[in-house]
């Protein structure tokens, strides 16, 4: 057990080191891509909380990406709010709207919740286009880029600076999530997923936790959307389509929807899988997403993260199976 914990610390340390030095060894556009990986990982982390841990499905998290992105754009452009304040505000706005959706979700389950959140994803672009004066309509809004602070001027590019900022945020959120899910809160969320009636019977209030899970995960999606908007330099309605929502869910399932590592892998998948398969055919990413989603649900429901764990810890697994059989 303690051996495993040491392993965990080592892998986190190696990963942190990798994040730190990577921009030195890869071209600038790669750092740019890795910023997106970090942002998507944060968004998918929200789905690990909501779907993986609490058992509520959302096919509409792209909408919260949009809310985060537009919040940053509007705050920066119209009110001149700086980055360090606008990202937390984006998280708050997105989180509050997420709580609202969470209240609606209390009345819905399974397929119905999937459909309702799907409808949210479908409605997002046209809603954004509708409020022209605030959102700039189909044109969208420009988002100022993030320049490195004084002493680092000329030392690193603004792409590299955003890369570091993103991964520091991601690291902090992964740490926070790991602690929260490992404690009382995480146990309550999992208990509700496993057996809501039983959870109630020992004093857990499912309404409160389920609503909170929606708000919490929406806040993460808002932060992710804010980072993506800054990295891209603009927001426009057609960024936040159903395709984005589905890509997030696919990334979560392929990566591993009930582990933190799965969220990280999911971020890599959402960023790089389309780039890889696009070369075959422009329509290939959607097809690959669809097929991969079905295959993973059937053969590897724990995603890549759980599969790797199963390979790394074969002895432990064998022991568990042995125990289970005896």
Partner 1 sequence: MALLEARKLYARYGESDVLHGIDLEVAQGSIVALLGANGSGKTTTLRALTGGVRTSGNVLFDDREIAGLPPEAVARLGIAHVPEGRGTLGSFTVRENLSMGAYTIKDGKRSKARYEKLVGYFPWLVDRREQPAGLLSGGEQQMLAIARALMMEPRVILLDEPSLGLAPIIVKRIFEILRTINREDGVTIVIAEQDAAAALALADTAYVLEVGRVAISGPSADLAGNEQLRKSYLGY
Query: Applying CB under 8 A, which residues contact partner 1?
Result: 184, 187-188, 190-191, 193-195, 197-206, 320, 323-324
Nearest to 55 by CA among 195, 242, 261, 177: 195
Residue 249 CB, nearest distance to partner 1 (Å)? 21
CB 212 within 8 A of CB 102: yes
Residue 238 CB, nearest distance to partner 1 (Å)? 39
Residue 120 CA to residue 60 CA, distance in Å, equals: 6
Q: How many other C-beta atoms are found inside a 10 Å radius of the C-beta of residue 255?
A: 30
Residue 202 CB, nearest distance to partner 1 (Å)? 5
CB 218 within 8 A of CB 64: yes
Which pair of structure tokens corresponds to residue 134? 């605030």
- In the bound state with partner 1, the residue whose beta carbon lies nearer, of 109 and 194, is 194
- In the bound state with partner 1, the residue whose beta carbon lies nearer, of 24 and 184, is 184
Residue 305 CB, nearest distance to partner 1 (Å)? 16
- In the bound state with partner 1, the residue whose beta carbon lies nearer, of 52 and 68, is 52
Residue 149: partners with Cβ closer than 8 Å, 6 or more residues away: 161
Question: In the beta sheet, which residues pair with residue 153?
Answer: 156
Residue 251 CB, nearest distance to partner 1 (Å)? 22
Nearest to 232 by CA among 69, 77, 71: 69
- In the bound state with partner 1, the residue whose beta carbon lies nearer, of 238 and 320, is 320
With H, G, I as helix, E, B as strand and everything else as coil, classify residue 35. Answer: helix
Residue 316 CB, nearest distance to partner 1 (Å)? 11
CB 218 within 8 A of CB 98: yes
- In the bound state with partner 1, the residue whose beta carbon lies nearer, of 187 and 313, is 187
- In the bound state with partner 1, the residue whose beta carbon lies nearer, of 78 and 208, is 208
Residue 165 CB, nearest distance to partner 1 (Å)? 36
With H, G, I as helix, E, B as strand and everything else as coil, classify residue 142. Answer: strand
Residue 252 CA to residue 284 CA, distance in Å, equals: 19
Residue 97: partners with Cβ closer than 8 Å, 6 or more residues away: 64, 67, 218
- In the bound state with partner 1, the residue whose beta carbon lies nearer, of 108 and 156, is 108
């Amino acid at each position: 057990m303690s051996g495993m914990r040491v392993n965990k610390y080592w892998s986190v340390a190696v990963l942190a080191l990798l994040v730190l030095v990577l921009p030195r060894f890869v071209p600038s556009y790669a750092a740019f891509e890795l910023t997106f990986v970090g942002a998507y990982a944060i968004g998918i982390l929200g789905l690990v909380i909501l779907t993986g841990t609490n058992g509520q499905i959302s096919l509409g998290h792209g909408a919260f990406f949009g809310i985060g992105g537009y919040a940053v754009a509007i705050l920066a452009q119209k009110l001149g709010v700086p980055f360090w304040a606008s990202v937390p505000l984006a998280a708050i706005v997105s989180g509050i709207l997420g709580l609202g959706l969470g209240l609606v979700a209390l009345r819905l389950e399974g397929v119905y919740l999937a459909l309702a959140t799907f409808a949210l994803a479908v409605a997002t672009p046209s809603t954004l286009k509708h409020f022209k004066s605030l959102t700039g309509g189909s044109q969208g809004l420009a988002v100022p880029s993030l320049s490195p602070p004084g002493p680092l001027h000329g030392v690193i590019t603004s792409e590299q600076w955003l890369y570091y900022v993103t991964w520091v945020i991601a690291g902090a959120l992964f740490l926070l999530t790991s602690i929260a899910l490992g404690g009382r809160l995480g146990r309550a969320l999992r208990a509700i997923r496993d057996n809501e009636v039983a959870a109630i019977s020992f004093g857990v209030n499912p309404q409160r936790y389920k609503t909170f899970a929606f708000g919490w995960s929406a806040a993460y999606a808002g932060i992710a959307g804010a980072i993506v908007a800054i990295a891209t330099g603009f927001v426009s309605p057609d960024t936040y389509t159903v395709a984005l929502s589905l890509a997030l869910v696919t990334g979560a399932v392929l990566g591993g929807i009930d582990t933190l590592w799965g969220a990280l892998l999911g971020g890599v998948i959402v960023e790089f899988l389309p780039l890889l398969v696009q070369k075959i055919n422009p329509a290939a990413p959607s097809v690959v997403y669809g097929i991969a989603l079905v295959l993973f649900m059937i053969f590897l429901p724990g995603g890549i993260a759980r599969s790797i764990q199963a390979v790394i810890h074969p002895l432990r697994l064998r022991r568990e199976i042995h125990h289970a059989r005896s």
